[in-house]
Amino acid sequence: ATVGARVTIDGNVDVFGGEIELDALTAVTVEAVGPEAAPAPITPVAYSEVKTSGTRQAKLEGVIITLPAATVTAIDTAVGEATLTAADSTTLIMDDTLYAANATVGQNYLSVTGVLTTKPVTAGSASKIQPRAATDLVPGAPGLATFGPALSYAKVGTTNNAPTYPQPLTVTLTGPAMGDTTVMIVSGTAAALTVANVIVPDGQTSIAVPVTALAQNADVTLTAMLGTNMQTAHVRVLGASEVPTMVTLSPNDATVNVGGTVLFTVSLDVPAVSSVQIGLSVTNAAGTLPTTVTIDPPNVSATFTYTDTALSGTAMVTATFGASTSSANVTVSTGATHLVINEIDYDNVGTDTAEYVEIYNPSGAAISLANKTLYLVNGANSQVYVTVDLSPAVSLASHQYLVLANANVTVPMTALKIDTGWHNATGDIQNGSPDGVALVDLSTNTLIDALSYEGAITAAMLPGFATPPSLVEGTVLASTVADSNTAEGSLCRHPDGQDTDDAAADWGFCATLSPGTANP
């Protein structure tokens, strides 16, 4: 079927998370190709009427409606949702099921059209508007997108009305200004730092904010206001003779591939007033790095590259500035160069409604998912009880995650997901004693990766394998390392993506679930 076609759908009416659905479809028949015009939107409709539990929410659920002006006040990038706030402060979620608006906080809309739906959330269900295309969103005057950087500096005694540094404090709108646009700026400590309103010229999206530094102060809060949009930034006012005294090295802990590199950052407590030399060293000659790194004024930080030569183990990198030192650990990763089964949550607390298996690409290049399949294996008879084809996800980028789960499991936008329908009784991931998972390349009938949990499966009856392979890599994972319905968590590889072909060394229990992100 194409957009605008008229179809007949055969299936079962069901309610999931508060939303009426057609489930277990048996046929979709195109009665007329069309395209047939969509019904005209229902208007007027107030946000207060269609919000969660609003007076018209149930009546208009599944109907195309047009809502009046609102402002985007929050973004949830993990699930692709934006919060719309109307003039009366009523809020409604704008979802991306049909169209991803890529909205930003502060964006104003004169009107929003879309399908009103009821979608499941963690605490129950919520009313949401689903725009269908860019034409469903009528933008208004731009709002305040950003006010930053979050921290910048000014020095007492410099020229009045000068920009902050190392980066100038800047206000940025959500779109080009429609006429000269005044943004109010207020200083929280006027005795230390004063600031005036700024005007973003017609057609421009940003402008720097000049300040006047009067007295030394560790933290002055500035507030930018445009209409109902408010954002804050912080300025540290430095004394005329104040100089840096401390150095910080980040990240505190890093993982490096064999022979790989890590980009470190050294930061001062205040910007350099003259060129500063930071001494660098590493224990056990475990890697190569420059002996010093220079931070030039007015910068507060600089970067350097560490290259592993140890091939294994952990080393300590240290930055030294005068009497100040800062150190970081670097651990050589034994991460695989192939797809790995990275995490499995097979036993939820209470009813199993949000199980998942996570696949990870720890290599430095994309890996095709063509002919890749995940088998769930029943330890009672070593037979496959669920088969999941990974090819619809096409390809997994370097260091990207693929989550196999039902609609109850959300993943970040950086990850891929295949909806398995595992909320059905016949599709649950079995809870062990033992059970297993096998990642297979069907084009060569080879076992890419496997895990046997809560016991050993040593002869899995996988389709296409002349000899049933073992799902135990090295030493079997102890049966005491297990998922359960009494404690939140999952089985996961740690470090993330490590595969030494020894299940007991590579796998453990993680108390924090991380579908689509690095294991804790």
Report the C-alpha gap between 132 and 57 in whole angstroms. 19
**Beta strands 324-333 and 19-32, pairing class:** unpaired
pLDDT of residue 275: 95
> Is residue 423 over pLDDT 70?
no
Helix (H) / strand (E) element for 45: namely none
Question: Is pLDDT of 365 > 70?
Answer: yes
H or E segment and range at residue 511: none
* Stated length of the chain: 520
Q: Which neighbouring-strand residues pair with 225?
A: 184, 230
Look up tokens 């540094």; give the residue. Answer: 165
Q: Which of 115-124, 255-264, 319-328 has the highest mean pLDDT?
A: 319-328
| Whether the Cβ atoms of residue 379 and residue 455 lie closer than 8 Å to each other | yes
More confident of the two residues 250 and 407: 250
| Cα–Cα distances in angstroms (integers) from residue 504 to residues 234, 470, 478, 482, 508, in the given order | 48, 15, 7, 12, 8
b/e code 382-409 from CB counts within 10 Å (16+ = b): bebbbebebeebeebeeebbbbbbbbbb
As a whole number, mean pLDDT of residues 127-146 equals 93
334 has a pLDDT exceeding 90? no
Q: 322 Cβ partners below 8 Å, 6+ apart?
A: 245
Do the Cβ atoms of 366 and 339 come closer than 8 Å? no
What band does 234 get if pLDDT is binned at 50, 70 and 90?
very high
Q: How far apart are CA 155 and CA 166, in angstroms?
A: 11
- SS3 annotation, 370-388: CCEEEEEEECCCCEEEEEE
Question: When comparing pLDDT for 55 and 104, which is higher?
Answer: 55
Determine how many CB atoms are found less than 10 A away from the CB of residue 322.
12
